[in-house]
């Protein structure tokens, strides 16, 4: 390679600073050093990068084109340097996070993680059978965020992050949608569309029996099935806010709980004996400090 990265840095700095003298001040070098570096770069590349006919040199057409490529080269070099520094600091190169709850509450934490560990790859898994605890237990996920279950294996540790609302819903044209209040007997008379992992595990789910049950391994599949009028379902309200606001889906008001939202806990899971790396430890602690919540029908946070 005939030119150096330092020459590319000087070239880009001269363009961004607006002049050779300003680039010299920004880089802590003399103006003659900047001029010489750019001149040598032009010689190595065989093209003029700057038009020097005026007092302040300006980019030539070739300079404009090569500037974009120079910036791309430097960006990749900085990324390489950052990745190497991260690995040298014994930060793990990647993490796997299993999530079964709506992502909205977790995005702020993931944004913080991106800022703190920009060179750590993150794999988000949403297990098809909804069993986040199984993925964490087997070591296929480093951390898990899932709706609370009554019993976890002894090898797993957990902490509740907050609570989200589960809503009983159907399509606006479904027979149950015409009822001001719905009893458990009414629910039992129509097909229930159930999330496989939670069909019998969530608190109070024993009341949600039905003569017919269709099960799915994805909440998104259930949403489409409800939209098609195939039955009623219990879904995270965060997941269907737009459909509810548009009137496409209707939230069923249960006679047994006419003024109460059904709150379900959200847990963070990890292996008790696992020795986390720096990035995993940071993410776990950040999640533990964060609150997972939404506003109930009175406008009150579900997690205080």
Boundaries of every domain in the chain: 5-88, 94-143+270-289, 162-263
By DSSP bridging, strand 121-125 and strand 213-216 are unpaired
Taking the chain, what is the end-to-end CA distance rounded to the nearest angstrom? 60
- In this structure, whether the domain defined by 162-263 belongs to CATH 3.40.1260.10 is answered with no
Write out pLDDT tens, residues 23-37.
888 888 888 888 888
pLDDT for position 283: 93
Of these ranges, 30-39, 46-55, 141-150, the one predicted with the greatest mean pLDDT is: 141-150
pLDDT for position 250: 95
pTM, full prediction: 0.67
Write out pLDDT tens, residues 168-225.
999 999 999 999 888 888 888 899 998 877 655 555 555 666 778 898 888 889 999 9
Give the three-state DSSP class for 209: coil
Write out pLDDT tens, residues 57-110.
888 888 888 888 888 887 777 666 666 655 555 678 899 999 988 888 899 999
For residue 19, what are the contacts with CB-CB under 8 A and spacing of at least 6?
Answer: 56, 57
pLDDT for position 85: 56
Q: Which of 221-230, 243-252, 292-301 bottoms out in mean pLDDT, i.e. has the lowest?
A: 292-301
CA 212 – CA 272 distance, rounded (Å): 40
pLDDT for position 81: 65
Is the CB of residue 102 less than 8 Å from the CB of residue 236?
yes
For residue 36, what are the contacts with CB-CB under 8 A and spacing of at least 6?
Answer: none
Q: Over pLDDT 70: what percentage of the chain?
A: 90
- 228: pLDDT strictly greater than 90: yes
- 135: pLDDT strictly greater than 60: yes
Q: Which fold has domain 5-88?
A: Arc Repressor Mutant, subunit A (1.10.10)
Instruction: Write down the mean pLDDT value for the chain.
Output: 84
For residue 108, what are the contacts with CB-CB under 8 A and spacing of at least 6?
Answer: 290
Reading the block at residue 99, the tokens are 């999530």
pLDDT for position 301: 78
- 125: pLDDT strictly greater than 60: yes
* Residue 114 burial by Cβ neighbours in a 10 Å radius (0-12, 13-18, 19+): exposed
């Amino acid at each position: 390679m005939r030119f150096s990265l330092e020459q590319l840095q000087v070239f880009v700095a001269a363009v961004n600073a607006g002049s050779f003298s300003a680039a010299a001040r920004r880089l802590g070098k003399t103006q003659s050093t900047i001029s010489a570096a750019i001149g040598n770069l032009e010689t190595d590349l065989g093209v003029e990068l700057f038009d020097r006919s005026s007092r302040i040199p300006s980019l030539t057409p070739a300079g404009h084109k090569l500037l974009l490529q120079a910036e791309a080269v430097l960006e990749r070099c900085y990324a390489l340097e950052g990745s190497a520094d991260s690995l040298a600091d014994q930060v793990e190169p990647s993490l796997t996070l299993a999530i079964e709850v709506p992502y909205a509450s977790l995005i702020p934490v993931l944004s913080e993680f991106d800022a703190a560990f920009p060179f750590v790859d993150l794999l988000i898994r949403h297990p098809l059978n909804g069993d986040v605890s199984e993925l964490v237990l087997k070591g296929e996920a480093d951390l898990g965020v899932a709706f609370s279950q009554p019993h976890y294996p002894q090898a797993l540790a957990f902490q509740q992050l907050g609570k989200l609302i589960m809503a009983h819903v159907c399509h606006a044209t479904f027979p149950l949608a015409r009822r001001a209040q719905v009893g458990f007997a009414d629910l039992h008379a129509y097909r229930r569309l159930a999330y496989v992992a939670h069909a019998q595990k969530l608190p109070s789910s024993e009341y949600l029996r039905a003569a017919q049950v269709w099960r799915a391994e994805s909440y998104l599949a259930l949403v489409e099935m409800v939209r098609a009028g195939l039955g009623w379902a219990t879904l995270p309200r965060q997941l269907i806010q737009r459909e509810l606001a548009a009137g496409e889906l209707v939230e069923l008001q249960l006679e047994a709980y006419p003024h109460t939202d059904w709150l379900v806990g959200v847990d963070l899971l990890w292996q008790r004996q696992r020795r986390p790396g720096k990035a995993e430890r940071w993410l776990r602690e950040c999640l533990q400090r964060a609150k997972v919540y939404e506003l109930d029908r009175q406008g009150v946070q579900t997690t205080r």
